[in-house]
Chain A
Amino acid sequence: MNTLDKSSNKIDYKGEGFKTKNLFNVIYVEEAAFKYPITKEVLDKYCNLQVITIRHYKDVFNRTNQHFQIQKQYQSLILAVKDKPFLYEGPQVCQNFGYPNFYYTSFLLNCIFDCGYCYLQGMYNSANIVAFVNVEDFKNSIEQESLKKPVFLAVSYDTDLIGFYNIIPYIDYFYGFFKMHPALTVEIRTKSGNQSFYKTHTALDNIVIAFTLSPQEIIEKYEKNTPPLKTRIKAIKTALDQGFKVRICLDPVFINPVADHLYEPFYEYVFSEINANKILDLSFGFFRMSKEFFKRIKKQSEYSDLFLDEYCLNENVISYPKEYQNNIMTRHYQILTNYMKKEKIFSL
Chain B
Amino acid sequence: MIYLDHAATSWPKPPAVLRAIEQYLNDYGGNPGRSGHRISIEAGRVVYEAREALAQLFNVPDPLRIVFTANATEALNLALYGLLKPGDRVVTSGIEHNAMMRPLRDLARRGVELQIVPCNAEGLLDLAALAEALRVKTRLVALNHASNVVGTISPIAQAAKLAHQAGAPLLLDTAQSAGCLPIDMPALGVDLLAFTGHKALCGPPGTGGLVLGTSFDAQELEPIMRGGTGSRSEYEEQPEMLPDKYESGTVNGMGIAGLGAAVRWLLEQGIDNVRAHEVRLTREMLGGLAQIPRLHVYGPRDAEKQTATISVSIQGLYVSDIGFQLDADYAILCRVGLHCAPAAHRTIGTFPEGTVRLALGWSNTLEQVHLVVDALQRISSI
Same assembly: no
Mark A residues whose CB is within 8 Å of B: none
